[in-house]
Amino acid sequence: MSAPLRAEAARGVASGAGAGDDAPAAAALYRRIGARIVPFLFVCYIVSILDRSNIGFAQLQMRQDLGLTDAMYSLGAVLFFVGYVLFEVPSNALLRRFGARRTFARILVLWGAVSVAMITVDSVRQFYVLRFLLGVFEAGFFPGLVFYLTCWYPARRRASVLSIFYAGVAVAGMVGGLLSGWIMRGMSGVLGLHGWQWMFAIEGAPAIVLGVVAWFWLCDGPEQAAWLTPDDRRRLADDLAADRARAPAHTAASLREALAAPRTYLFAFIYFSLTTALLMLLFWMPLMIREFGIHDVVHISLLSIVPNAIGAAGLIAIARRSDRRRERRRHFAACALGGALALALLTLHLPNIVAMMALLSLAAMLIFAAHPVFWAVPSAYFSGAGAAGGIALISSIGVSSGMITPWIVGMIRTRTGSMDPAMLMIAGLLAACAVAMLVGTRGERLAEPAR
């Protein structure tokens, strides 16, 4: 974890609290929680991003070694999301039954094992099977993480702490390509293995190790946290109980209520739109930079660091402001509408490369920042089994955009020769989800009032 993110975690996101509850005892409590669970889960999240996305680098060599066509590679990429979507809700249901410690250990060890097993792939069929299994075993990790954090942080602090994990997306974007490229180039031929085989082994093994560590490091909830004093556990329980008492009137407390609640699907649409925008940036940012007139691969790689770095810093600042102001709807809408406007302006193709990079960085920052602010909203609507199931359903529907976004954006660019129509389409989705949040949650209290 970088120094700024490590410092943020060590503070336990105490800055998210308002002046009224930022007593020394409360600040010390959340610093202790943040230092204990956030850095470890952050590392797990980084590894999950690397293990699901490194196929994009591996395919540069796998195509020739396995005879993969574009269609075969695309199907393999999509099969990950198929497995992920199908098993996300069941995985989170198991979290409620078996606890966070067992669930995270299971997920980490199994997805790490599948990722390492990719070194054995010697046919297209094996490639398909292992990509599907990777999605199956990784399913439930992120919604489980969101649910787990609701057991430790009241609503007023959640956007700040979730922003740390979304900063992980940017961090992975900055280091993932450099790491994967170095492994594939530097390890090629060692022990008779291809570079892509070493990449899967080296980047998959940490998940197995983290799974073992999770068994001993994590606990199912504050009640089992031996590293908290009885007074700390009582204070946290009172804080969370008061949080539930202030929850919106339409809170879903059971899985059945969460599945039947119209707002679950409103949130799912919003998250689907956000994920579509995020995936466009992750998959197509290098091509967007090339369309600015930059053609050298090294220069494109270096320039792609800029939007990710600005996005990481900006999303933490915006999430902390949302927590400090105890407001979600307008912060989310401003991020979504601002991101939509920045994407639309990119289609003007300004002659100044600095201006175009500034617009791309602004779009990345606002799209990244919308995610932690968004997740602070549904986590306030659900409780108990409803939280585990509702969050998993929202996440699975949102992640399903991974099955269609690369295909749609690629088809649009193939037919038009430009990214502009795709950017305008996604700008429209962002504007629509901003309106959906403002209208669909109108009149509801989405954060704790100041005390």
pLDDT at 443: 61
Of 245, 265, 289, the residue that ends a domain is 245
Separation of alpha carbons 390 and 260, rounded Å:
10
Q: How does DSSP assign 32-58, residue by residue?
A: HHHHHHHHHHHHHHHHHHHHHHTHHHH
400-430 per-position pLDDT tens digit: 888 888 778 877 877 888 889 999 999 999 9
Two structure tokens written together for 437: 């949040």
Give, to the nearest 10 degrees, the angle between helix 155-186 and helix 55-66.
30
223-266 per-position pLDDT tens digit: 888 898 888 898 898 888 887 666 554 555 556 776 777 888 99
361 and 447: one domain?
Answer: yes
- When comparing pLDDT for 252 and 271, which is higher? 271
Which CATH number do you get for residue 240?
1.20.1250.20
Count CB neighbours of 430 within 10 A.
28
The model's confidence at residue 387, banded by pLDDT at 50, 70 and 90, is: low
Contact 105, 213 (CB under 8 A): no
108 and 37: one domain?
Answer: yes
164 and 124: one domain?
Answer: yes
Of 215, 245, 275, the residue that ends a domain is 245
276 and 170: one domain?
Answer: no
Q: Is the dihedral of CA 44, 48, 54, 55 positive or negative?
A: positive
236 and 314: one domain?
Answer: no
Of 187, 210, 245, the residue that ends a domain is 245
Q: What's the mean per-residue pLDDT of the chain?
A: 82
277 and 207: one domain?
Answer: no
**Three-state DSSP class for 252?**
strand
pLDDT at 413: 78
pTM greater than 0.85 (yes/no): no
397 and 309: one domain?
Answer: yes
Angle at 435 between CA 92 and CA 341, to 5 degrees: 105
> How distant, in Å, are the alpha carbons of 212, 222, 372, 387 from that of 258?
32, 24, 20, 8
202 and 90: one domain?
Answer: yes
Two structure tokens written together for 283: 């998959």
Two structure tokens written together for 191: 């022990």
208 and 271: one domain?
Answer: no
- Number of structural domains found in the chain: 2
364-381 per-position pLDDT tens digit: 999 999 998 998 888 777
236 and 282: one domain?
Answer: no
Fill in the DSSP letter of residue 382. Answer: B
Exposure b/e, 252-275, CB count within 10 A at least 16 = b: bbebebbeebebbbbbbbbbbbbb
Q: Is the dihedral of CA 60, 66, 71, 76 positive or negative?
A: negative
Owning domain of residue 115: 1-13+20-245
pLDDT at 65: 84
In 3D space, the residue among 373, 366, 347, 367 whose CA is nearest the CA of residue 158 turns out to be: 373
Phi/psi at 154 (5° precision): -70, 165
320 and 238: one domain?
Answer: no
321 and 413: one domain?
Answer: yes
| 188 Cβ contact partners less than 8 Å away, ≥ 6 residues apart | 61, 194, 195, 198
